[in-house]
Amino acid sequence: MPSKGATLELAVLGLLQESPLHGYELRKRLNLLLGWTRLLSYGSLYPALKRMLRAGWITEVVATSPTVSRRARIVYQITPAGTEYFASEITDAGPAAWEDENFNMRFAFFSRTDAAVRLRILEGRRSRLQERLDRARVLSSGADRYQTELRRHAAESVEREVRWLTDLIEAERGNHDRGGNDRAPQTAPPQNVAPQNP
């Protein structure tokens, strides 16, 4: 079962699928990929790598570089089992996929995700955010100026994100009629094909 901490593991596998990496470099890339809030610490990454080794998703190779004699780096490589696990998780468009952290990670690997799954994840994410807005619209008693302003701003942020998702969904649908998929997700002008309204 994809418990919560699967996010880090999946992100590592996603990066290792492109090329083998050592821990230090991995951390930097993870922070670039997902590090908008707190930075990932080594005390978090290295134990995760050990777990993944035990799970058989990655293998480690001590890189003894003959030319440049840096400190021996331990390079991690993804295994077939790891590739399989990544593929199966990335295919799963269940509720776990539209959690905050998880969603960003899924999105980051969208180029390796089926178009249908992409769409489901985007829509799931959007309706989850919409629920949040509805839940919060039951506006509150006893809120002072600052609390009111805080909520207003938070709601506005969520609304913006909903619009962002809507644009992405439209873009996805727009180039869906082509079998090959994998086109730009950018807010492209809506192509007028046959409107497929729900």
Partner DNA sequence: GTTAGCATGTAAGGAGTTACATGATTTT
Partner DNA sequence: AAAATCATGTAACTCCTTACATGCTAAC
The binder of 124, among a second copy, DNA, none, by C-beta within 5 to 8 A per type, is none
Give the full edge-to-edge strand order of the sheet including 58-63. 21-22, 73-78, 58-63
- Which of residues 50 and 153 has its CB atom nearest to a second copy in the complex? 153
The binder of 164, among a second copy, DNA, none, by C-beta within 5 to 8 A per type, is a second copy
Contact 183, 175 (CB under 8 A): yes
Contact 109, 54 (CB under 8 A): no
Q: Would you call 47 exposed, middle or buried from its count of C-beta atoms within 10 A (0-12, 13-18, 19+)?
A: exposed
Q: Would you call 9 exposed, middle or buried from its count of C-beta atoms within 10 A (0-12, 13-18, 19+)?
A: buried
The binder of 32, among a second copy, DNA, none, by C-beta within 5 to 8 A per type, is a second copy
Q: Which of 6, 45, 53, 158 binds a second copy (CB under 8 A)?
A: 158
What whole-number distance in Å separates Cα of residue 56 and Cα of residue 179?
35
Structure tokens at 149: 């302003």
Length reported for the chain: 198
What whole-number distance in Å separates Cα of residue 132 and Cα of residue 102?
17
- Asked if 107 touches DNA (CB under 7 A), the answer is no
- Asked if 184 touches a second copy (CB under 8 A), the answer is yes
The binder of 69, among a second copy, DNA, none, by C-beta within 5 to 8 A per type, is DNA
Q: Smallest distance from the beta carbon of 115 to DNA, in angstroms?
A: 29
- Residues 6+ away with beta carbon under 8 Å from 113: 90, 91, 106, 121
Site string for DNA, 34-63 (x = CB under 7 A): ----xxxxxxx-xxxxxx------------
DSSP element (H, E) containing 59: strand 58-63
Q: Which of 72, 94, 100, 159 binds a second copy (CB under 8 A)?
A: 100
Q: Smallest distance from the beta carbon of 132 to a second copy, in angstroms?
A: 7
The residues binding DNA (CB under 7 A) are: 3-8, 22-25, 38-44, 46-51, 68-71, 73-75
The residues binding a second copy (CB under 8 A) are: 18, 29, 32-33, 36-38, 100, 104, 107-111, 132, 136, 139-140, 142, 144-147, 149-150, 152-154, 157-158, 160-161, 164, 168, 184-186, 192-194
